[in-house]
């Protein structure tokens, strides 16, 4: 944009990430009825929209900055394409008015492919900003559904529904999937002391490389479609979110950690490769320091991340994290904290705010 142009509006939008998805894999088209309990965490994905007058009446009226990739390019909202088709198709779903020109920046605080629902958070944050620009007020449920449709309909990708829900609603989400892709969402409220204790002990560990497991996941899906023993494991996984919810509401973090471990072993039962060597090396350290629980985030496989419910003692937890960092291979703890807030959008020039 030319620096002389006057910025009419400055819209900012944020959506949290997702970790520790108890019941993940059951929020998919091949699972039938499913249940998930997951946690929203900060730092959030951020979208920023600077709005100008489109004096040139250009059809390419969006300048898109994909900050994590160091790429900038002009977009015609009516003709989404590469690069970054996810971002372009989101803009196509809620295009800016043609008389306006927008400079959009999108930033993720974590690397791509880290198994924290990052693409869903990007979708929800950008959709929230574009809807705010267009003065369209729709429910969080519909925003999550629209973000999911971008991935499955526009990009023809495999996608569960839990990540978009968590990004939109925030907090602790207890999600029922009565019939894919429909969702019923309950946000779980904890006493302040319980929330703080859970937040203090949660640790997000990056496994050293992006999540690269589409071939493995296709193998799991094929097994599930055949209805073998993996199908029984999937049915067992549907029972875990209710137990996790009950443990949190009872203030029993040790019990919650046991559900995490059980879910992790269910993922291993679906396919051993879903729990990588790096994840098992980290789990070995966590066991040695008497952590209460651990679970590979997302579907599992090579790369990505792991959630640990660390030991109650601060010193033991910090020592555990130091030993995990010493494993090398790019493995490292990432700073994160529980997020009560889901999607939020506001105009920084007028300071009007929209929390749906």
Report domain extents, the chain. Answer: 9-189+342-354, 192-338
Average pLDDT over residues 52-80: 97
pLDDT score, position 262: 98
Q: Give yes or no for residue 356 having a pLDDT over 60.
A: no
pLDDT score, position 34: 98
Q: Residue 40 and residue 17: Cα distance in Å, rounded?
A: 6
- The total of other beta-carbon atoms located within 10 Å of residue 200's CB is 14
Using alpha carbons, select from 281, 305, 289 the residue that is nearest to residue 24.
Answer: 305
The per-residue pLDDT of the chain, averaged, comes to 95
Confidence class for position 352, pLDDT limits 50, 70, 90: low
pLDDT score, position 227: 84
Average pLDDT over residues 328-343: 97
Q: Residue 321 and residue 25: Cα distance in Å, rounded?
A: 28
Q: Give yes or no for residue 217 having a pLDDT over 90.
A: no
Q: Give yes or no for residue 216 having a pLDDT over 90.
A: no
Phi-psi region of 25 (alpha: psi -120 to 50; beta: other; left: phi over 0): left
pLDDT in tens, 293-327: 999 999 999 999 999 999 999 999 999 999 999 99
Question: Quick one: fold of 192-338?
Answer: Alpha-Beta Plaits (3.30.70)
Q: Residue 335 and residue 333: Cα distance in Å, rounded?
A: 7
pLDDT score, position 218: 85
Confidence class for position 340, pLDDT limits 50, 70, 90: very high
Contact 162, 27 (CB under 8 A): yes
Question: Quick one: fold of 9-189+342-354?
Answer: Ribosomal Protein S5; domain 2 (3.30.230)
């Amino acid at each position: 944009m030319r620096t002389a142009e006057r910025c009419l509006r400055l819209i900012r939008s944020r959506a949290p990430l997702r970790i520790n998805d108890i019941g993940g894999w059951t929020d998919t088209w091949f699972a039938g009825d499913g249940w998930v309990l997951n946690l929203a965490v900060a730092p959030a994905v951020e979208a920023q929209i600077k709005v100008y007058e489109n004096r040139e009446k250009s059809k390419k009226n969006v300048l898109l900055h994909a900050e994590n990739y160091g790429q900038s390019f002009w977009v015609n909202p009516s003709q989404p394409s590469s690069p970054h088709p996810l971002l372009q198709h989101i803009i196509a779903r809620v295009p800016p008015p043609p008389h306006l020109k927008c400079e959009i920046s999108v930033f993720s605080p974590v690397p791509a492919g880290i198994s924290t629902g990052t693409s869903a958070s990007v979708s929800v944050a950008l959709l929230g900003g574009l809807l705010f620009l267009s003065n369209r007020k729709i429910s969080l449920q519909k925003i999550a559904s629209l973000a999911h449709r971008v991935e499955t309909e526009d990009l023809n990708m495999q996608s569960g529904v839990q990540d978009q829900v968590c990004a939109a609603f925030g907090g602790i989400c207890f999600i029922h999937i009565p019939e894919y892709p429909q969702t019923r969402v309950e946000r779980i409220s904890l006493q302040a002391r319980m929330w703080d204790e859970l937040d203090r002990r949660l640790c997000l560990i990056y496994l050293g490389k992006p999540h690269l497991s589409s071939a493995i996941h296709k193998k799991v899906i094929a097994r599930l479609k055949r209805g073998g023993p993996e199908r029984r494991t999937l049915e067992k996984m549907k029972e875990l979110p209710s137990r996790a919810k009950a443990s949190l509401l009872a203030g029993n973090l040790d019990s919650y950690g046991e559900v995490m471990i059980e879910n992790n072993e269910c993922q291993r039962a679906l396919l051993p490769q879903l729990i990588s060597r790096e994840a098992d090396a980290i789990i070995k350290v966590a066991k040695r320091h008497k952590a209460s629980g651990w679970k590979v985030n997302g579907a599992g496989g090579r790369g990505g991340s792991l959630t640990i419910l660390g030991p109650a003692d601060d010193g033991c937890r910090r020592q555990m994290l130091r030993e995990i960092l010493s494993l090398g291979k790019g493995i490292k703890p990432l700073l994160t904290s529980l997020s009560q807030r889901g999607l939020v959008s506001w105009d920084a020039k007028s300071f009007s705010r929209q929390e749906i």
